[in-house]
Amino acid sequence: MSDTSSTSPASVRLIVSWALVTVLLGYGVIETGITAAKLF
């Protein structure tokens, strides 16, 4: 949980953070979209 001041690890942390929530949200949106597209 420690903070880092160097640029590279901070960038990696930022990318990993957004990637996690993007994957989670993307999964939900795509699954819902597929279901809706099949049904409509």
Q: Are 28 and 34 in contact (CB under 8 A)?
A: no
The Cα–Cα gap between 31 and 24 comes to 11
3-state DSSP percent of the chain in helix, strand and coil, to 5: 80, 0, 20
CB of 38 to another protein, least distance (A): 7
Considering only residues 1 to 40 of the shown chain, the ones binding another protein according to CB under 8 A are 1, 3, 5, 10, 13-14, 17-18, 20-21, 24-25, 27-29, 31-33, 35-36, 38-40
Query: Could you list the residues that contact another protein (CB under 8 A)?
Result: 1, 3, 5, 10, 13-14, 17-18, 20-21, 24-25, 27-29, 31-33, 35-36, 38-40
